[in-house]
Amino acid sequence: MIKVGSLRGRLLRRLALLLTSILLLSSLSAYWSARRAADTAYDRTLLASARAIAEGLSADAGQLQADVPYIALDTFAYDSGGRIYYQVLDLQGRLVSGYEDLPAPPPGTRRTDDYPALAHFYDARYRGQGVRMVSLLQPVSEPSLNGMAQIRVGETLGARERLARELLIGTLWRMGLLVGSALVLVWLAVSAALRPLDSLRQTVAGRASDDLRPLPEGDLPRELRPLVEALNQFNARLRGLFERQAQFIADAAHELRTPLAALKARLELGLRAQTPNQWRETLEEAAQNSDRLTQLANQLLSLARIESGARAIAEGGAQRLDLSQLARELGMALAPLAHGRGVSLALEAQQPIWLSGEPTLLNELLCNLLDNALAHTPPGGSVVLRVLAPAVLEVQDNGPGIPPDEREKVFERFYRRSQQGAGAGLGLAIVGEICRAHRAQISLHDALPSGLCVRVVFAAETSAQATREG
């Protein structure tokens, strides 16, 4: 099985992943912003150097002269990591001063619109290094010269990259510190938010195993109240189950104690008898009492089996079966019993009726209904077992029937009608429990012309699903 970590850990891991992603995106954005800022600052310095050189241009005997001021190159003196190169070309493109092999602007280089100057900025390679260049066109108007001189100034990219890197590292430090602080604060906030859940855990863990009182809901956050309500509902169902079991055990003990005491008293009386006829009479009564005790024990075991069968159905262990076939097999098995009692047993099942259920419980349901009908049908009467679509089971007899005011009570455990002396009052109670396990509806109706009709209607979705599977 997959082990699931704590809720606090999952929240922290997801928040850490989210904040780390934000950190990376912010760092990339900060780097590019810093690089653009550095490029803008250094481009402005390059243009200022080119303009300073342009101010030193002059004409002498029809030749262009360049008096490069120290300030034009001193602008970059503070940065020992970079180098600056310059070049001055006359009106015909001849070298006047500076480095003769500085790269020219690539064809199609557009003039910058950021500054009021005839300047072109471009990137190039010079002496194995990347350089940033500016080419400034400077008008020359002298009596002996008239045209455009060109001044090129370039610098290596080390200073720009170092500035961007320093800005990036500073941003990463600040963002990392912010993320770490945020995670610590989130951990504290999550721990405080989960404290009611831990308190609820301690409350549940500190209770005794038989303490099923409702959990308090007053001081819980709104998100935990549905969980506590579900737990309280489960505890209520469990408490009801325990109460029913306790009542059932008490009733069963009472029902077993009475026939056992009667059996023991009859045997003790028989032991004091002196004639064989009295002994035989005692043994016959003891055998009858034993039969009743055996029937009661079997019925009690049936009720116990219903619980496990209901759990199997709820957990998806139901089987697909044909109700008509199940009724046919049980009818054949009980036919000799009906014949011995002088009662006719008929089966009406024209087609297979498929449904999902627990075969043992359904067989128990049919057996109890037929046994109850045969027991209350006088000799010469009839019992009819019907299986109807979509999933309806009917057992009809022409016995005395059950008055309407008692039809709800007969499904209670150990309930006996006043005019009945035999039986433990568990037959129809078992039938009712099996119907609840299969989500079926059971009802009692008057039969025509007389008697009782027991109708069991199984859930429509159960029968429909079984039909599709068939």
> Using an 8 Å Cβ cutoff, are 47 and 138 in contact?
no
- Environment class of 367 (CB within 10 Å of its CB; exposed 0-12, middle 13-18, buried 19+): middle
Query: Of how many residues is the chain composed?
Result: 470
Listed residue (152, 162, 159, 168) closest to 68, CA to CA: 152
Task: Give the number of other CB atoms < 10 A from CB of residue 355.
Answer: 26
Multiple choice CATH, 7-166, 3.30.870, 3.30.450, 3.40.50, 1.10.1740: 3.30.450
Tokens matching residue 355: 């449904």
**What pLDDT, on the 0 to 100 scale, is given for residue 453?**
93
Write the DSSP symbol of residue 405. Answer: G
Q: Please tell me the pTM assigned to this model.
A: 0.49
Q: Which residues contact 128 (CB under 8 A, 6 or more apart)?
A: none
Neighbours of 354 (CB within 10 A): 22
| C-alpha torsion sign, points 303, 309, 315, 316 | negative
| Other CB atoms within 10 Å distance of the CB of residue 9 | 12
- Quote the tokens at residue 42: 């250094």
Give the C-alpha distances (Å, rounded to integers) separating 109 from 36, 94, 105, 119, 194: 19, 21, 6, 10, 63
**Residue-level pLDDT at 423:** 57
Residue indicated by tokens 């001849």: 94
* Residue-by-residue pLDDT tens, the chain, 470 positions: 444 567 777 777 888 888 888 878 887 887 788 778 778 888 888 888 888 888 888 887 778 888 887 666 665 444 445 688 889 999 888 898 888 889 999 998 888 888 888 899 999 999 888 899 999 998 888 777 788 899 999 988 877 777 777 877 887 788 788 878 888 888 888 778 777 777 777 878 877 777 778 887 777 777 777 888 888 888 888 887 777 777 767 766 766 776 777 778 777 877 777 788 877 888 877 787 777 777 777 767 766 667 666 666 766 767 889 999 999 999 899 899 898 889 999 999 878 889 888 888 888 889 889 988 898 899 999 999 999 988 899 999 988 888 888 888 887 777 766 544 455 667 788 888 888 888 899 999 988 888 899 999 998 654 444 555 55
Q: Which pLDDT score, from 0 to 100, does residue 464 have?
A: 46
Helix (H, G, I), strand (E, B) or coil at 274: coil
Q: Identify the pLDDT of residue 421.
A: 47
- How far is 156 from 160, CA to CA, in rounded Å? 8
Distances (CA, A) of 69 to 52, 128, 423: 7, 27, 126
Instruction: Domain ranges for the chain, please list them.
Output: 7-166, 318-469
Amino acid at 46: L
Q: Rg of the Cα trace of the chain?
A: 51
pLDDT score, position 2: 45
Residue 235 exposed, middle or buried by CB count within 10 Å (0-12, 13-18, 19+): middle
CB-count burial class (<10 Å; 0-12, 13-18, 19+) for 366: buried
Which of 341, 298, 337 lies closest to 427, judged by CA?
298
432: Cα separation from own chain's centroid: 35
**Residue 66, H or E segment:** strand 63-66
Q: Which residues pair with 97 in a beta bridge?
A: 88
pLDDT of residue 395: 92
CATH number of 318-469: 3.30.565.10
